[in-house]
Each structure stands twice: as C-alpha cells, then as structure tokens.
C-alpha cells in the first residue's frame, strides 16, 4: 500500500500544479520608488487616494476594510469597491484583498474575486509590483467583469501608480489621459 501511494503522489502533485482554465489577470510594472513608499501607497488612505481612487477606507489588518471609492459622491452601493476586505498582509511585500465588479454589472457585483499585490525591491529606488486578480466565474457578466479588469489594472491603476511616483499624486478632477 505504501508503494502505491508513492506512485500516485507525484501524479497528483503534477495535476494540481498544472495549467488551469481559470481566468486570471496578471500585470506587472516597475515603480521608481523604494518598496516602503510603494507599500504605503497601497496600504494607507492617503497613499491609495494618491493613485488608486479619489477616496477610500483602509483598516490595515486581516479582515479590515479595503474600500476604494471611485465615485465618492454616489449613493451607497454605487461608489466603487465597497465592502472589500483585506485577506492577507506581509509588510512590505504582499497585500491580498477581495474585490467586486463595477456597479453596472449588478448580476455579479455582490460576489467577490481576489486580488494579490506583491512588491519586490529591484534596487533601493525601484520596486517591482506584481498584481494577480482571480476568482472570476464563467459566462454572462463574469466575462464583462474580467474584460473590464483586464483593462483597468494594467492600463489604468498600475500606470497611475507609476505616475504618482514619477509626477506626483493623481489630480482626480483632471486624471491623466487614457483613464476614461
């Protein structure tokens, strides 16, 4: 019986580590800032408001709030990333949080996906930021949500992070081109 387990174990491990059909968004940028400054941008309200959203609520602890208000003046439930929670922290290297679909995708908005941000010091003045967003369902508005975030993370949020350190905080009344 022990011999049989040894024969099946490597196969089981290979299957678990193999490719999946799960939709996953992966994006990466280099930011011209020390890792501690980039960590602060992701994990403090002032930092997140400088690149991620005009307003937010962050409670930096596991199960603490990680809410981004892209439309702070909207009624409750339509402001943006409301009700999101921190799943894991490893300062200053990793942050994981829940995420939801935008308000116009009401059929999937109440469900949650998962985002992990990993930071790696490339030098004392450069940080690699790797973002992975997963947990999407199949069909219908799940496809729209995936398409939306496959654009938003690599083409808006991460470039805004780079902009924040290269040119200063985002002016939310007049954001950089390409953010619409």
Q: Say if 174 falls within a structural domain.
A: no
pTM for the structure as a whole: 0.86
Q: Say if 7 falls within a structural domain.
A: no
Q: Say if 117 falls within a structural domain.
A: yes
Note the pLDDT tens digit of each residue in 62-112.
999 999 999 999 999 889 999 999 999 999 999 999 999 999 999 999 999
Percent of the chain whose pLDDT exceeds 70: 86
Q: Say if 82 falls within a structural domain.
A: yes
Q: What pLDDT score does 22 carry?
A: 82
CATH number at residue 115: 3.30.530.20
Average pLDDT over residues 40-59: 98
Give the model's confidence band at 178: pLDDT under 50 very low, under 70 low, under 90 confident, else very high: low
Q: Say if 6 falls within a structural domain.
A: no
CA distances from 48 to 67, 156, 171 (A): 10, 14, 13
For residue 113, what are the domain limits? 21-167
- The terminus-to-terminus CA distance of the chain in angstroms comes to 61
Q: Say if 4 falls within a structural domain.
A: no
Domain total in the chain: 1
What is the rounded CA–CA span in Å between residue 78 and residue 64?
Answer: 20
Strands laid side by side in the 94-99 sheet? 24-31, 126-134, 113-123, 94-99, 86-90
Q: Say if 162 falls within a structural domain.
A: yes
Q: Say if 180 falls within a structural domain.
A: no
């Amino acid at each position: 019986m022990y011999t049989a387990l040894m024969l099946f174990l490597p196969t089981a491990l290979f299957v678990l580590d193999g490719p999946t059909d799960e939709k996953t968004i992966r994006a990466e940028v280099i930011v011209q800032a020390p890792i501690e400054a980039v960590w602060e941008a992701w994990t403090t309200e002032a930092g997140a408001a400088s690149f991620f959203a005009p307003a937010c609520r962050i409670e930096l602890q596991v199960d603490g709030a990680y809410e981004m208000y892209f439309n702070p003046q909207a009624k409750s439930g339509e402001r943006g990333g409301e009700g999101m929670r921190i799943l894991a922290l490893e300062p200053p290297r990793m942050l994981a949080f829940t995420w939801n679909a935008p308000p116009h995708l009401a059929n999937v908005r109440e469900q949650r996906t998962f985002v992990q941000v990993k930071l790696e010091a490339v030098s004392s003045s450069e940080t690699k930021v790797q973002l992975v967003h997963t947990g999407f369902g199949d069909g219908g508005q799940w496809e729209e949500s995936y398409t939306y975030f496959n654009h938003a993370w690599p083409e808006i949020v991460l470039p805004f992070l780079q902009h924040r350190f290269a040119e200063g905080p985002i002016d939310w009344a007049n954001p950089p081109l390409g953010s619409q």
